[in-house]
Structures are given as C-alpha cells and as structure tokens.
Amino acid sequence: MSAIPAPRRVLVTGASSGIGAATVRRLRDDGWAVVAAARRADRLEELAAETGAEAYPLDITDDAAVTALAEHLEATGGLDAVVNNAGGALGLDPVERADVEGWRRMYDVNVLGTLRVTKAVLPLLRRSAGAGGGSDVVVVTSTAAHGTYEGGAGYTAAKHAERMLSTTLRWEIVGEPIRVIEIAPGAVATEEFSLVRFEGDAERAAAVYEGYQPLVADDIADTIAWTLSRPPHVNVDLLVVRPRAQANNSKIARTGV
C-alpha cells in the first residue's frame, strides 16, 4: 500500500487579518498545510484554532526573525510555496508634505520585507521543486504598482519597487521549476487597510468605499488560490483584479451599485 503524500505546504505573510487571513482560510479549505505568519500572535492563534493552520509570529522587517523562520520551515518539512502578502499604506500626503519616516516604513514592509522572506525561503522552494511538481512565489502587490494617484507617491513607489522585485526574480530564475506570480488588487475593503492608512480615522477610511461595491478579502484569496492551482507548466505572471466600478487608481464610478 503506497503512502499518502503529505499536503503541499505554503507560507502566508501578513496573515493576521484581511487578505492574509482570508488566504489562510481558503488554502486550508483547498487542502494546503499553511504556516500563517504575522506580528500579532493573539490573532494568529485564533486563526490557527479556526483553520488548523500553524501560527508563526513574525516581523518581516527583522532580519534575524526571518532567518529563524526559514530554519524552522526547513526543520519541519520544507516549503512548496510562499504568499508574500504583508504590506500596507501610510498616509495620503502630497510629496511636498511627505512623512519621510512613513515612506521608510512602507518601503521596509512592502519591499524589503518581501525581499527578506523570498531570499530566506528560496532554497527551500528549490529543494521542493526539485523533488517534482514545482514551487511558487506569490507576491501580492497592488494596482498602485502599475499606476499612481495624487497623495499616493510613497505607497505607489513602494509597490512599484515590489513589482520590479518580483518581475526581476522571474527573469533571473527562468528555467527553474519555480513560478513567480504577481497579484495586483484594486480597491479591497478590509477591516484594517484604510484604517491604518488614516491612523484610525474610521470615517475617512469608510469614505474610501462609499457609493460602490469594492472587492473583499475573499475575492483576492480566491484569485491567489486559483493561480496556485494551475498546472505546473502554467505561470500567471500578473493578474490585476479590480471591482467593476473601478477603472483605474483614481477613477471609480460611485453609482451606489
């Protein structure tokens, strides 16, 4: 009697809320073994109890912590895929009033965080891919990685850099059985993204999504799961997903539907 193969294992960063938490739930439903990583251990534990995922508290801006994560993954079964989801926006100030520390934080989380994690787990993904079936690097950027808008220079700059990171990696490792997939969401109403951007101003955060139906976290989780489920020879280089009402970063039809 042949042994039942172990489920494929995926690391999801930024997993404590929003798109990350929705992705953990979806991939667990799809049969993946999921390592859910984020800073907030209490939320991760709740998610782990709900889904059966492994909770791993992690600050992706901490080099030593990311190295320790890779060592943990290697010691506990390796890795087949990573979903680089952790990120976020801070503020909506014009360039002349830009908060330099806010820009630095956005770059560290969105760009260097993705770089740290990807560098650390790439050897594990190579090892898994070499055993057959291929491996995956998913990078959740934003439509901000493909255009700009007034007040968004800091965030769009960081997301453009994150996009270039993933695109360059795809070029550099072409020929290896590892896919590099970019998911670029438009307006997604999650419980925290705009609240964080506007420093807890709930009224201002809610106004972002008034007058139309934005995407929700499950829409993006569904998109991520679909790209990961494609046959190994199929690479979805880039998938841009917006609500129907959104034509670009700054044009939204607020018609009430």
List the catalytic residues: 155
d(CA 27, CA 23): 6
- Strands 238-241 and 246-248, by their bridges, are unpaired
For the CA atoms of 35, 36, 38, 40, what is the dihedral angle to 10 degrees? -120
Instruction: Tell me the two tokens of residue 109.
Output: 């989380």
Find out whether 22 and 47 touch, Cβ atoms under 8 Å. no
With tokens 């800073």, the residue in question is 39
Q: Which residues sit opposite 255 in a β-bridge?
A: none
Distances (CA, A) of 238 to 141, 146, 181: 10, 11, 6
Q: Which of 114, 17, 124, 23 is nearest to 81 (CA)?
A: 124
Say which residues have a Cβ less than 8 Å from residue 192's Cβ, sequence separation at least 6. 17, 18
